[in-house]
Amino acid sequence: MFYRTEEVNSLISPNSDNATVTWASGLNFCDKPEFWVYIKSLKNTDADHFLLTHEINIRQKLEIEKHGIFVIEVDRNQLKDNFFLDRNFVFARFMLQLMKYGYEHVTITDSKDVIFQKNIFEVNNKLTLVSEGFKHRDSSWNLADQFTFHSGVRSDKKELVGPPIDLSDKFVINGGVIIGNPLVLFELTEEIAETGRCSSGKFTDQAVLNHLIYTEQIENFYITNPEENICLMGEAIKEGFVTDYKFKDGKFFNSKDEEFYIVHQWDRTKYREEVLKNL
């Protein structure tokens, strides 16, 4: 097993119907000031907080736990060649644990470049995915990620995965912020892991997610747009695709002066140092 179930059972003592889930590993990673922006922003949510990790020292663990976060250590020897797929496989099993304990609303996010500005659990419980704010044709990185995924699909798995389709005119869906209930998140992360493992390439879970969405293998979801205040994407700001936003008093707002619930990739914006200064 990736983590000791009995240890998780002893940790979980629900204080809320809501949960945030992330993964953070690396002795340097967990000391980065950007990571601590994420940790300290969790206070802006009404939720229990869970951090999965396969590399952390006792000092870092104790410091994180001081912020009311449950740290769950994963057996790194169980991780295989593609961390992104392994992460989703573990997330899927962890969603089953959260279901067992009665959690109803969950966000799975990256950590180091994510800020919770408001309580995201005010948003509906439908499977919610975040648009990057630009199309695949505008991102050579995402196109290459797709190509690597599909070119590595083993011959005996091609029918299962399905043929690649032209995504150049499709908006990139970000893999670093996913919102829903534990059941739909179990189904999604399980599908990402299982489909991704049909390929031997070095790609990310974002490539698999976009393939599954645009080949209609995932149903009943909502994709945000940059005009909403659910999640602002820093890469889109950096590349000039999103310009209609505001930054004031250390926070990001949309054009309607609505504060964003989540800001992802904030460290790619020109306000990086100002955000860190307010840490």
- What are the tens digits of pLDDT across the range 199-250? 998 999 999 999 999 999 998 999 998 889 999 999 999 999 999 999 999 9
State the number of CA atoms in the 13 A half-sphere of 64 facing the CB. Answer: 31
Q: Which residue has the tokens 């009404």?
A: 46
Please determine, for residue 2, whether its predicted confidence score (pLDDT) is greater than 60. Answer: no
Tokens of 228: 């909403």
Average pLDDT over residues 180-206: 96
Rounded to whole angstroms, how far apart are CA atoms 215 and 163? 9
| pLDDT one-digit tens code per residue, 126-179 | 899 999 999 999 999 999 999 999 999 999 999 999 999 999 999 999 999 999
pLDDT at 9: 58
pLDDT score for 36: 97
Helical residues (DSSP H) of 104-139, grouped into ranges: none
Residue 129 has phi, psi (to 5 degrees) of -115, 160
Q: In what order do the strands lie in the sheet with 262-264?
A: 114-116, 262-264, 231-233
Predicted local confidence at residue 225, as pLDDT: 87
Please write the tens of the pLDDT for every residue from 89-132: 999 999 999 999 999 999 999 999 999 999 999 987 789 999 99
pTM (2 decimals)? Answer: 0.94
Please name the amino acid found at residue 162: G
Instruction: Please determine, for residue 253, whether its predicted confidence score (pLDDT) is greater than 70.
Output: yes
H or E element at residue 23? strand 18-23
Instruction: Quick: pLDDT tens for 4-44.
Output: 545 565 667 678 899 999 999 999 999 999 999 999 999 99
pLDDT of residue 80: 78
| Alpha-carbon gap, residue 35 to 186, rounded angstroms | 25
